[in-house]
Amino acid sequence: MRKNPSRRAGRLGLRGGVGRGGGATTFVPVPLEWQGTTRQVAGLFPWGVPGRLPAIGVPTGRHQLGAGVVCFDPASWFRAGLIANPSVLVLGKPGLGKSTLVDHWGIGLAAMGYRILVPGDTKPDHVEMTRVLGGAVQQVRRSGGAALNPCDPGGMGASAARIGGQAGDTLLHEAIGRGTTAVHSLVQLIRDGSPVLDHERAALAMALRVLYTSGRRAPSLPDVLDVLGQRPDEIRSVVLARGGDDDYDVLLDPLRRSLLALLAGPYGNVFSRPVDRSDIDTPALDIDTSAIKAGDPGYLAAVLICAWSEAYGRVESAQALTAAGLEPRRQHVVILDELWRVLRVGRGTGMADRVNELTRLNRTEGVCQIMVTHGVRDLSTGRDQQVEGIEHRAGALVIGGIPKGEVRALQDVVTLTDAEAGQLVSWSSAPDLDPRTRPPGSGKFLIKHSPTEPGIPVDVMLTPTELAWGGQNSNRAWED
């Protein structure tokens, strides 16, 4: 081995090693420096080379510009502090893979222990996913299908009885409130939008209270009718029926007639029976409302109101049971696909209020929300002021192919670079293809986790298992 020359020389002087190749230098080059704005030197600041994307959340697909695997789901990104709110709004033209992407996240989230709820699967798009996860599918039909009980939202009454004490009472009051709201909306729908009067609402709430306090865990609409018919003192006093039975009947017969119409009329027997909740611990629940055709918006609205009430009642029950130390903690993911349809049929029935309430509270309620619609303009259809702003409140936007007009509307919500806007339009402008082939823009999404930063363009990759089960094939009706 050759010896180090400075060692060989034996010593180090003040100006470096003594000997050949050692000593001082007279010129030290200063590196060149430039200054510029972030826009002028874009790509150099803060780093010239992109960093890796956080490996947090469900592996969703490949980065379109080669930055590796893209992991994303609203729950995990919220937990990691990457988005401010555990919700996502997925936008895109029909047939470009929104529901497929949502199923993909659903499977990943279920594997992480989240319970998946699809309250009102209008197409249905998520039935196969629910089945594959070993979950429960409740198909609602005019007759003989699953029941929806507006008076007993998500088994809250039974959970309240299990919890007992002050906490049980609080949950019971919540059950009565929710039940009253649901029945109120149904009565309004069967009356073709005519309002429910204040004393009628009070009578409904009191009837439910009488039923619950008399020990009924899950009262139903026929029970409410019975109680109203018995003219108990509690209800007499809230409707101020001072003039005896006749006075009472004049005040409450219209409500009883509406309830009878709900039970015996065009809505079949969906709302008259108790709900089977033997599946309460299910990893996924899909309330399949696809058998109700769009041509019957009143009926669909009624079913959706009760289905939402059921799903959120289940969430509240689960949370109250956890707080009481009776059940382990379980987080929920609610999938609201075809949101535009829900908002359209539910106009004037409090549906929009419910969406609003949820998008504001999901962080504190421990509910992650995945909402799907065609574009932000859907959300303000009919200038329904109540629902405006969902796109601003969502923790992230995931945007697929959308037409130019929609891109312009989106510019008010998030900053889209010219390149991003061009990409979104190109994904949407596919030539008319055979419906059995995938359009070129399908499975391509831009994840906007911040309104100002560039988005993450991703090619959604399905696993061989997902492709094999065929659940995502929403074009099946076109196959030979």
- The C-alpha atoms of residue 43 and residue 128 are separated, in whole angstroms, by 44
- Are 101 and 445 in contact, with CB atoms under 8 Å apart? yes
Non-local (6+) Cβ contacts of 290 within 8 A are 121, 122, 123, 124, 139
Count of residues touching Mg ion (by CB under 5 A): 2
Choose from Mg ion, ligand ATP, none: what does 443 bind? Cβ within 5-8 Å by kind.
ligand ATP
100 lines the binding site for ligand ATP (CB under 6 A): yes
Please tell me the total number of residues recorded for the chain in this structure: 480
Q: Among residues 438, 451, 453, 478, which is the contact residue for ligand ATP, using CB under 6 A?
A: 438
- Listing DSSP states for 271-301 in one string gives TSS----TTTT-SEEEEE-TTS-TT-HHHHH
Q: Strand, helix or coil at 87?
A: strand
Least separation in angstroms between CB 61 and ligand ATP: 7
98 lines the binding site for ligand ATP (CB under 6 A): yes
**Which one of the spans 205-213, 309-317, 376-384, 471-479 is the region binding ligand ATP (CB under 6 A)?**
471-479
CB of 350 or CB of 441, closer to Mg ion: 441
Alpha-carbon distances of 480 from 95, 97, 477, rounded to whole Å: 19, 22, 8
Residues 236-295 close enough to bind ligand ATP by CB under 6 A: none
Least separation in angstroms between CB 165 and ligand ATP: 46
In the bound state, the residue with its beta carbon closest to Mg ion is 99
Least separation in angstroms between CB 335 and ligand ATP: 11
99 lines the binding site for Mg ion (CB under 5 A): yes
Q: Which strands sit side by side in the sheet containing 69-71, from one edge to the other?
A: 69-71, 59-63, 456-460, 444-448, 396-399, 87-91, 367-373, 332-336, 115-121, 284-288, 136-139
94 lines the binding site for ligand ATP (CB under 6 A): yes
Choose from Mg ion, ligand ATP, none: what does 423 bind? Cβ within 5-8 Å by kind.
none
- Are 434 and 444 in contact, with CB atoms under 8 Å apart? no
Task: Name which of 91, 37, 11 is nearest 403 in CA terms.
Answer: 91
122 lines the binding site for Mg ion (CB under 5 A): no
Least separation in angstroms between CB 436 and ligand ATP: 9
- The C-alpha atoms of residue 377 and residue 3 are separated, in whole angstroms, by 77
Which amino acid, residue 105?
W
Task: Name which of 162, 212, 153, 158 is nearest 184 in CA terms.
Answer: 153
Choose from ligand ATP, Mg ion, none: what does 287 bind? Cβ within 5-8 Å by kind.
none
**Which one of the spans 138-146, 241-249, 423-431, 438-446 is the region binding ligand ATP (CB under 6 A)?**
438-446
73 lines the binding site for Mg ion (CB under 5 A): no
Least separation in angstroms between CB 286 and ligand ATP: 15
103 lines the binding site for Mg ion (CB under 5 A): no
Could you count the other beta carbons within 10 Å of the beta carbon of residue 479? Answer: 8
Least separation in angstroms between CB 99 and Mg ion: 3
**Which one of the spans 253-261, 425-433, 448-456, 469-477 is the region binding ligand ATP (CB under 6 A)?**
469-477
Q: Among residues 294, 405, 475, 478, which is the contact residue for ligand ATP, using CB under 6 A?
A: 475
The contact set with ligand ATP (CB under 6 A) reads 92, 94-100, 438, 442-443, 460, 462, 472-475
